[in-house]
Structure 1
Amino acid sequence: MEKHVVVIYPHPDDESFGAAGTITQFREQGVPVTYLCGTLGEMGRNMGSPTFANRETLPEIRKKELKNACEVLDMELRMLGYRDKTLEFENRSEVAEHLKGILEEINPSLVITHYPDHAVHPDHNALGAAAVEAVRRMDPEKRPAVWAQAITNNYLEELGRPDVINDVSKQFEKKMEAVFAHDSQAAPMLGGGKDEKDVMEYARQMFSKEAFFIWKYE
């Protein structure tokens, strides 16, 4: 059983869409989980459906949603304080050192993050790469395992079959509760305006499994 799991993603809602089922499985086992969230997603295009946010109010709304989702998932939240859509321009070494310091403090046995260059969004790729580098810089005897999540359309062709494929169908309701805690983002991303039954059936097909690659260090 894992000792402590740290999840590292750049935006509020990445944790829920990407790994909420797996997080729930760990919490059901009594494993502590800490989420290091890179930004507040303040440059997100979705302002609610119907609109209830603007560029000035969105950061606080998304922060509140993030806290609600973390309460649903019963995990600790730490904000890294970076700005949305700028992570690719941050000094990679400095971000890695920032993460390394936190990881050495928490001393997890597992880190979950995005797979660099296979995570679609530049922020996803950048923070995933920094997380992988942070763990590489740690004492090899104290390094946590790294599960990297690839979400590009062609990752199977380029990377092969993931090493870890978690069936989270039993955790589906909890996952969707966390997803819908991100109210400003969930409805548009899941096809706002569709019949609720259709939305949930689509979600069940999309989100009943969560897959990860185990990062190989030399």
Structure 2
Amino acid sequence: MEKHVVVVYPHPDDESFGAAGTITQFREQGVPVTYLCGTLGEMGRNMGNPTFANRETLPDIRKKELKDACEVLDMELRMLGYRDKTLEFEDRSAVAEHLKGILDEIEPSLVITHYPEHAVHPDHNALGAAAIEAVRRMAPEKRPTVWAQAITNNYLEELGNPEVINDVSDQFDTKMKAVFAHDSQAAPMLGGGYDQKEVMEYARNMFSKEAFFIWNYE
């Protein structure tokens, strides 16, 4: 069993869409989980459906949604304080050192993050690369395993099959509760909520498995 799991993604909702089922599995085992969230997602285009946010209110709304989702998932939240859509321009070494300091404190046995260059969004690629570099800089005897999540359309062709494929069907309801905690984002992306059967059927097909590659530091 894992000692402590740290999840590193750049935006509120990345944790819910990407790994909420896996996070729930760990929490069901009694494993502590900490989410290091890079930004507030304040430059996101989605403003709710129907619209209820604007550019000025979105940061506070997404922060509250993030806290609500983390409460659903029963995990600790730490905000890294970076600005949305700028992570690719941050000094990679400085971000890695920032993350390393937190990882040295927590001493996790597993880190979950995005697979660089296979994570669609520049923020995903940049923070994933920084997280992987942070772990590389740790003392080998304290270095956690890294699970890297690829989400590009062609990742199977380029990377092969992921080593970890978690069936999270039993955790699906918790995952979707966390996803819909991000109301400003989930409703526009999924086109509805719990009360729409077709939405939930689509989500069950899409989100009942979560896959990760084990990063090789050799």
TM-score of the two chains, using structure 1 as the length reference: 0.98
Confirm whether residue 43 of structure 1 aligns to residue 47 of structure 2: no
For the 8 Å contact 2:5–2:109, the answer to whether it is kept is yes
Equivalent position SS for 2:148: strand
Cα displacement (A) at 1:86: 0.2
Cα displacement (A) at 1:191: 2.5
**Residue 174 of structure 1 aligns with which residue?**
174
Cα displacement (A) at 1:180: 0.3
CA distance in 2, matches of 1:56, 1:90: 24
Confirm whether residue 117 of structure 1 aligns to residue 108 of structure 2: no
RMSD: 1.1
**Residue 132 of structure 2 aligns with which residue?**
132
For the 8 Å contact 2:180–2:193, the answer to whether it is kept is no
Cα deviation 1:113-150 (Å, max 9, x = unaligned): 00000000000000000000000000011100000000
Equivalent position SS for 2:42: coil
Cα displacement (A) at 1:192: 4.1
CA distance in 1, matches of 2:213, 2:48: 33
For the 8 Å contact 2:25–2:171, the answer to whether it is kept is yes
CA distance in 2, matches of 1:174, 1:156: 27
Cα displacement (A) at 1:195: 7.4
Equivalent position SS for 1:3: coil
CA distance in 2, matches of 1:102, 1:59: 24
**What code does the residue aligned with 1:135 have?**
V
**What code does the residue aligned with 1:26 have?**
F
Moved over 3 A (4+): 192-195
**Residue 206 of structure 2 aligns with which residue?**
206
**What code does the residue aligned with 2:179 have?**
V
**Residue 53 of structure 1 aligns with which residue?**
53
**Residue 17 of structure 1 aligns with which residue?**
17
CA distance in 2, matches of 1:105, 1:33: 14
Equivalent position SS for 1:8: strand
TM-score of the two chains, using structure 2 as the length reference: 0.98
**Residue 90 of structure 1 aligns with which residue?**
90
Q: How many aligned residue pairs are there?
A: 218
Unmatched runs of 5 consecutive residues or more in structure 2: none
CA distance in 1, matches of 2:107, 2:195: 44
Equivalent position SS for 1:141: helix
CA distance in 2, matches of 1:194, 1:157: 34
**Residue 8 of structure 2 aligns with which residue?**
8
**What code does the residue aligned with 1:154 have?**
N
CA distance in 2, matches of 1:180, 1:57: 19
Cα deviation 1:150-197 (Å, max 9, x = unaligned): 000000000000000000000000000000000000011113499710
